[in-house]
Amino acid sequence: MPEHVVQRGILVGVDGSANSDAAVRWAAQEAAMRNVPLTVVHVASPLVGGWSAWEFAAAPPPEGFVEWQEAEANGVVADAARVAERSTADHRPLRINPDVVFSQVVPTLVDLTKEAQMIVVGRQGQGAFSSALLGSVSNALVHHAHCPVAVIHEDTGPAQSNAPVLVGVDGSTASELATAIAFEEAAFRGVDLVVLHSWSDHELSDFLGLQWSEMSATAHQTLVERLARWQERYPEITVQLVVVEDKPARHLVERSTSAQLVVVGSHGRGGFAGMHLGSVSTAVVHAVRAPVIVARQG
């Protein structure tokens, strides 16, 4: 693993909102579990409070404005660091790297993901982190980040220690990355893994005259073969295979209520055919209350 990735470890974007605090708590526990640093970053636009670039160019900012903005940004990061420390008080001491950047939020965070194992954000935020239902920043990251993105809901509480990890798979490259992440997360947590695959080739099944029981058995065997090397690598993990008919997002959302973490690919094929991040993955991130990791890589 590149040294700069180890140094960044788990990256969490903060803005002082309740969603941000939830993201910090989850990110801190993830970093402690992996025994890697936690980088707490607040990206603040240098032009706030209604000041435009033209206004700043035409006249200097009010006296003390820059100092006030820096103090505000440092306060956000300091508060987040305290949340992280409280969240991991029962673990080994957590190395926290505070970081404040004055720049455009989305491009900066996307660029920082090149140097992180994972980035963690709240589903919604305030200020620069708000706008859409998912949140402008979290939405941009699940589309453009260079590492896996964990999206955390404000109501996320401590995970049930025995609840499984849930992953949606379809045989695509993104699905393979999601599978790797899901096995790793289940191993870290010492819990079972539920692997869900959706079969939706109705036209083919009608043409061949296949019944659902036959399709299900075939899909199940294919899934067993695809997961064989992962089960060899993680023999301690109990894996439950679930093959469902069509509507993968609905099945993932329904099963997420009994999972402590859901992992999905950024896009896929097969059972997820044609459903890029605008459908299955986005539907899961929007609807699921549990933490969701979207498998991405640079």
User: What average pLDDT score do residues 117-131 get?
Assistant: 67
What's the confidence (pLDDT) of residue 133? 38
pLDDT at 120 over 70: yes
Chain segment 15-47, per-residue pLDDT in tens: 999 999 999 999 999 999 999 999 999 998 765
Q: Sign of torsion, CA 174 189 22 253?
A: positive
Residue 183 is inside which H or E element, if any? helix 173-189
Q: Nearest Cα to 44, choosing from 117, 152, 137, 139?
A: 137
pLDDT of res. 129: 37
Q: What is the fold, at CATH topology level, of the domain defined by 165-295?
A: Rossmann fold (3.40.50)
Record the pTM.
0.84
d(CA 243, CA 210): 16
**Residue 60 DSSP class:** P
| Average pLDDT across the chain, whole number | 82
pLDDT of residue 239: 96
* In contact, 223 and 195? CB cutoff 8 Å: yes
> Do the domains spanning 3-152 and 165-295 agree at the CATH topology level?
yes
Q: Which CATH architecture has domain 3-152?
A: 3-Layer(aba) Sandwich (3.40)
Q: Structural domain boundaries of the chain?
A: 3-152, 165-295
For the chain, percent of residues with pLDDT exceeding 90:
50
Residue 152 sits at φ, ψ, to 5 deg, of -115, 130
Reported as a single tens digit per residue, the pLDDT across 212-242 is 566 667 777 878 888 999 999 999 999 999 9
Nearest Cα neighbor of 40 from 104, 110, 95 is: 95
Highest mean pLDDT among 111-115, 123-127, 172-176: 111-115
